[in-house]
Amino acid sequence: MPQLAVDGAELTYDDEGPRDAGTAPLVFLHGWTADRHRWDHQMAHFAPHRRVIRLDLRGHGESSGTGARTIEDLARDVIALLDHLGVGRFVPVGHSMGGMTAQTLALAHPGRVERLVLVNSLGRMTYSRARGLLMAASTRVPFKLFVAANIRRAFAPGHPRHEVREYIRASAATPREVVMTLYSAMRAFDVLDRAGEIRVPTLMVHGYHDIQLPVRQMLRLAKDYEDAEVRVLDAGHELPVEKPAELTAVLDRFLDRPPARA
């Protein structure tokens, strides 16, 4: 598996598919405490006919490193990788924290982002007072319980328990510093007032049962986008693994959609 050294981290990534497909590469960005394998279904579907890139963000999965204090830090890692691979224009596909990173990329590098896909993501973390107190209290419990509570509630009711347990185990293997600093980074993330600056075609896919980042927060973001297509699926917060085939089909249709005429 290839790796790239970036600012004290070794980023593990996959770069598959034809280089001469005539389409912008897809760049898959996973969420908090996850890894690049969240996108296995999408990689298998798109790689035969399109270049696809995915990475473990620093400190996640098979990537080493700490030091990411903001979502902008993660975006800089992604750009460093794409520069290394010689990628100009691309289509970021981001889940949750990865969607925050994708928006940051679109705002910082508008000439390089051809289209944008946000999965279970939003533009600003917003809590009711009661939920804010609950989330603050959750950080005071033992680390593994904190991770388990957050991952367990990410899945819609009825998702197989053995799968949820496996995702909890994998998430708890993420270094504590990475988990907690990026948890704070997500809570501080706020690009909602800049949503109108993103003018590329954007697909927003959300789970109806998402209680981590409720669907109304995604809709609040969508109304300010110039060209946003919204799809809500029967799932929770972990759409890439709860409904992988449905998500891939929605993404496929969006990528095949001709660009709007000026």
Q: Which residues fall within 8 angstroms of residue 236, CB to CB, at 6 or more apart? A: 154, 155, 156, 157, 159, 207, 209, 210, 211, 212, 242
- pLDDT band at residue 149 under the 50/70/90 scheme: confident
Weakest-pLDDT range from 70-84, 171-185, 229-243: 171-185
**Residues 217-240, mean pLDDT to the nearest whole number:** 94
pLDDT of residue 262: 45
Please report, rounded to a whole number, the percentage of residues in the chain having pLDDT higher than 90.
82
Q: Is the pLDDT of residue 110 over 70?
A: yes
What are the structural domains of the chain? 3-256 (3.40.50.1820)
Helix axes 143-152, 161-172, angle to 10 degrees: 140
**Residues 127-134, mean pLDDT to the nearest whole number:** 58
Helix axes 176-188, 71-85, angle to 10 degrees: 110
Q: The whole model's pTM is what? A: 0.94
pLDDT of residue 78: 98
- pLDDT band at residue 48 under the 50/70/90 scheme: very high
Rounded-to-integer distance, Cα 94 and Cα 101, Å: 7
**Residues 103-118, mean pLDDT to the nearest whole number:** 97
**Residues 160-183, mean pLDDT to the nearest whole number:** 93
Residue type, 116: L
DSSP string, 167-223: HHHHHHTS-HHHHHHHHHHHHH-B-GGGGGG--S-EEEEEETT-SSS-HHHHHHHHT
DSSP string, 112-173: TBS-EEEES--SB----HHHHHHHHHHTTS-HHHHHHHHHHTTSPTT--HHHHHHHHHHHHT
Residue type, 71: I
- pLDDT band at residue 125 under the 50/70/90 scheme: confident
**Residues 225-236, mean pLDDT to the nearest whole number:** 95
What average pLDDT is seen over the chain?
A: 92
